[in-house]
Amino acid sequence: MNASIRRLALGTVLLASAAAAQDRSDEVPGLLVTLKSEDGATRAGAAQALGQIGAAAHDAVADLTAALKDAQRDVRRNAAQALGEVDALGRLGTRDVEAALKEARKDKQEAVENAARASLERIKKLPKAVKKK
């Protein structure tokens, strides 16, 4: 196979991967239900998946913010990380999300503190035009 065909094949695979990653919004409603599961590991997995979905999970901001107060450390940590990944903070307003993450920085678990701190740093880097009051 010559180099130009390999580049074309690689480009096609990368474009298909990007399209598949972006088209996960249909998973969000089910993950929001799963985020309310009785099983902590299941809730933690749902929070992580919502973060991986990113902007398409904008409807999850309120639920992820509420999950910052979950009894399970992994749920709180994954929710804090996810809030930094979901690029649609206007659902509650950036100030509301920032306030919740600042509170999460006081968590007794270092993993939750670190995740909240990292998400706050990510939010601070958003252009001012993106942030909502």
133 located within any domain: no
88 located within any domain: yes
DSSP state of 133: -
Task: Tell me which residue range forms the domain holding 97.
Answer: 3-124
98 or 128, greater pLDDT: 98
76-87 confidence digits (pLDDT tens): 999 999 999 885
CATH number of the domain within which 64 lies: 1.25.10.10
130 located within any domain: no
How many residues are present in the chain? 133
Burial 88-116 (b: 16+ CB within 10 A, else e): ebebbebebbbebbeebeebeeeebbebb
17-52 confidence digits (pLDDT tens): 455 556 788 999 999 999 999 999 999 999 999 999
17 located within any domain: yes
Instruction: Give the residue-averaged pLDDT of 99-119.
Output: 96
- Asked whether 57 and 82 are in contact (CB, 8 A), the reply is yes
- Asked whether 37 and 67 are in contact (CB, 8 A), the reply is no
6 or 98, greater pLDDT: 98
If one counts the domains in the chain, the total is 1
116 located within any domain: yes
Instruction: Give the residue-averaged pLDDT of 107-112.
Output: 98
129 located within any domain: no
132 located within any domain: no
Structure token pair of residue 68:
């910052």
Rounded to the nearest integer, the mean pLDDT of the chain is 82
41 located within any domain: yes
